[in-house]
């Protein structure tokens, strides 16, 4: 895929730990002990399964499925009667069930606890008896604490305890067979209790309170994926003790250093964005495929980048602490390059004499680029997506970009002439200094595969569209973590509202277009028609979808304008819809 992947886990970025999934028939998702203001509903389907109970009702209360059969109703009626019987057996001398705060339903062989909340509205603690044979257990989004016991679940291989109130992992030290552990969004302060788990393959502790990690004390020789993002890490050491590590995520911490003291040949993905890294030496991780280090203080202190011959994705957005120093040899094999928010000299595009044949995606938004060399189009012959938003480029630079500086004269033999960025699919030059589109439109026909063009917030298009703000442009000065894979500019209304979905933008633009004066409306439609005629495959122009209806209308307007020019007449207003 040639699109820009988002900064969080997506289908295009395989570096995130994926949610735990059942690996075999012995998998389950259930609750150990639930404490909180609201009761938790749990059910057991067999001796080896523990799953959250479906939220169905019984006897006159509508079900969530809407098409429950008579047999299903009977089944829930039996389960209801069985639950009443079990509660009566467990608490035979308690007349007021609504006052019960704890109950033990383990080993009662009940099939469902649906409507348990109705019977025991103030239940605070529930023991349900998860079978010891369970291998996969998910108890996320509950109220578990460090007091919850897992000692009877020694066969667990996959465990998800995310979004609970756990502040320690010591109670997991007995789980010797654990292979995957997800404990995101808790209150965990250290990795104590996990050091001797030599079978761990995937570990995610995202969104906790960990400040320091010494991996040299761990026996994680099989660990492949480690996610410590969104903690308070200011020190991480001992990475060399993880010989099998493939993906490391330490985004959004307080790290000032990240050291690799020994070769790590299996490491493919490193994410260290939004820290305070002042230097980074990648010379010992030579097989790295993806490096994301946005929002640090690297400047010119990213060392041995040229040794990463297999690097495909490189993101260094928004560095502080000096100008970003990148040499052509540092990025010669990169496929996707993100440099937005870093001042780049004009020489960045002119110092290389060898084209970047592998580069498919280039994002240099908000990089203070004031001009492009005449040969710029020949540097990126295979580029698919180019984001030049919020720079200082004019129509001459755009023409150079499209390969129009040394174009052959009319009627001459154009054999061997470079067609510029002929394979480009998306070109974004929002917020520059393009004053006239006349020459530009004439060269757009060279973009044979283009699907998206965006020239909003340039002098030539001002007044035709709603205004945009910098913060609304994914990948501009403030890269968005939720940007779409295509990195298309999101939009806002004129009051600076937050980014809106594309369909909302379409609705806003429709109203804005209908309110335009006739001359401005015809000017916009004629401009869009010229672009559509030059780029037959265009689908999105200036953030507005190109429809067949608009295409026909624009072609009619262009024909009418041409006829009036020949007759010496004046243009009239086209009907708005």
What pLDDT digit, counting tens, does each position of 90-137 carry?
778 778 777 777 777 766 666 666 667 777 787 666 666 677 778 999
Residue 238: both structure tokens together: 């001992």
Least confident of 231-235, 271-275, 402-406, 523-527: 402-406
**H or E element: which one contains 426?**
strand 426-428
**How many degrees, rounded to 5, is the angle at CA 271 between CA 283 and CA 491?**
130
Burial class for 414, CB neighbours closer than 10 Å (0-12, 13-18, 19+): exposed
Q: How far is CA 544 from CA 145, 175, 576, in A?
A: 50, 55, 16
What is the reported pTM?
0.76
Percent over 90 (pLDDT), the chain: 50
Percent over 70 (pLDDT), the chain: 72
Segment 363-374 shows an average pLDDT of 92
Q: Is the pLDDT of residue 353 over 70?
A: yes
**How many degrees, rounded to 5, is the angle at CA 27 between CA 26 and CA 29?**
140
- Cβ atoms of residues 114 and 56 within 8 Å: yes
**497-522 tens-digit pLDDT:** 344 555 677 788 889 999 999 999 99
The count of other CB atoms within 10 Å of the CB of residue 357 is 11
Q: Is the pLDDT of residue 3 over 70?
A: no
Q: Is the pLDDT of residue 527 over 50?
A: yes
**378-424 tens-digit pLDDT:** 899 999 999 999 999 999 999 989 885 444 444 444 333 355 688 99
Q: Which of 53, 71, 187, 35 is nearest to 112 (CA)?
A: 53
Q: Is the pLDDT of residue 13 over 70?
A: no
Predicted local distance difference test score (pLDDT) of residue 73: 53
Q: Which residues of 248-275 are buried (b: 16+ CB within 10 A; e: fewer)?
A: bbbbbbebeebebeeebeebbbbbbbbb
Predicted local distance difference test score (pLDDT) of residue 354: 85
Q: Is the pLDDT of residue 288 over 80?
A: yes
Predicted local distance difference test score (pLDDT) of residue 85: 81
Displacement of CA 151 from its chain's centroid (Å): 37
Predicted local distance difference test score (pLDDT) of residue 114: 65
More confident residue, 353 or 394: 394
Predicted local distance difference test score (pLDDT) of residue 300: 74
Which DSSP letter does residue 172 get? G
- Spatial separation of the C-alpha atoms in residues 389 and 317, rounded to whole Å: 14
**202-252 tens-digit pLDDT:** 999 999 999 999 999 999 999 999 999 999 999 999 999 999 999 999 999
**145-154 tens-digit pLDDT:** 887 778 888 9
Segment 438-467 shows an average pLDDT of 92
Residue 130: both structure tokens together: 């998860």
């Amino acid at each position: 895929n040639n699109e820009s992947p988002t900064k969080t886990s997506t289908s295009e970025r395989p570096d995130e730990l994926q949610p735990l999934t059942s690996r075999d028939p012995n998998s389950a998702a259930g609750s150990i002990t639930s404490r909180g203001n609201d009761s938790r509903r749990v059910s057991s389907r067999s001796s080896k399964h523990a799953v959250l109970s479906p939220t169905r009702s019984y006897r006159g209360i509508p079900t969530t499925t809407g098409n429950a059969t008579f047999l299903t109703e009977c089944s829930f009626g039996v389960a209801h009667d069985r639950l009443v019987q079990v509660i009566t057996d467990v608490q035979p001398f308690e007349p007021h069930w609504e006052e019960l705060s704890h109950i033990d339903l383990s080993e009662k062989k009940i099939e469902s606890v649906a409507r348990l909340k109705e019977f025991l509205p103030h239940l605070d603690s529930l023991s349900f008896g998860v079978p010891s044979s369970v291998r996969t257990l998910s108890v996320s989004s509950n109220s578990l604490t460090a007091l919850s016991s897992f000692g009877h679940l020694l066969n667990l291989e996959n465990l998800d305890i995310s979004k609970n109130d756990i502040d320690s992992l010591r109670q997991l030290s007995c789980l010797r067979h654990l292979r995957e552990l997800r404990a995101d969004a808790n209150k965990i302060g250290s990795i104590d209790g996990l050091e001797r788990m030599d079978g761990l393959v995937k570990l995610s502790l995202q969104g906790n309170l960990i400040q320091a990690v010494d991996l040299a004390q761990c026996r994680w020789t099989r660990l492949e994926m480690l996610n410590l993002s969104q903690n308070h890490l200011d020190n991480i050491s001992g990475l060399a003790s993880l010989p099998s590590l493939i993906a490391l995520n330490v985004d959004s911490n307080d790290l000032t250093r990240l050291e690799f003291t020994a070769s790590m040949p299996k490491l493919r993905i490193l994410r260290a964005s939004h820290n305070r890294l002042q230097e980074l030496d990648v010379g010992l991780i030579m097989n790295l495929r993806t490096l994301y280090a946005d929002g640090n203080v690297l400047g010119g202190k990213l060392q041995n980048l040229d040794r990463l011959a297999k690097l495909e994705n490189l993101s260094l957005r928004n560095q502080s602490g000096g100008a970003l120093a990148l040499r052509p040899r540092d990025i010669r094999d990169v496929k996707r390059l993100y440099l937005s928010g870093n001042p780049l000299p004009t020489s960045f595009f002119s110092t290389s004499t060898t084209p970047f044949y592998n580069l498919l995606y280039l994002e240099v938004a908000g990089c203070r680029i004031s001009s492009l060399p005449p040969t710029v189009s020949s540097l990126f012959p295979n580029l698919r997506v180019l984001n030049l938003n919020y720079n200082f480029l004019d129509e001459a630079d755009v023409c150079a970009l499209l390969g129009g500086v040394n174009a052959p004269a009319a009627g001459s033999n154009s054999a061997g002439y470079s067609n510029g960025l002929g394979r480009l699919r998306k070109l974004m030059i929002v917020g520059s200094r393009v004053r006239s589109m006349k020459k530009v439109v004439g060269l757009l026909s060279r973009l044979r595969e283009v699907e998206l063009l965006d020239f909003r917030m340039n002098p030539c298009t001002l007044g035709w569209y709603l205004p945009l703000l910098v913060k609304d442009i994914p990948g501009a000065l403030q890269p968005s973590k939720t940007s779409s894979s295509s990195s298309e500019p999101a939009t806002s209304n004129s009051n600076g509202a937050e980014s809106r979905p594309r369909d909302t933008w379409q609705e806003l633009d429709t109203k804005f277009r209908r309110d335009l004066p006739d001359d401005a409306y015809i000017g916009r439609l004629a401009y869009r028609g010229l672009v559509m005629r030059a780029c037959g495959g265009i689908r999105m122009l200036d953030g507005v979808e190109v429809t067949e209806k608009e295409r026909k209308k624009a072609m009619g307007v262009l024909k009418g304008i041409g006829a009036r020019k020949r007759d010496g007449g004046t243009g009239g207003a086209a009907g708005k819809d």
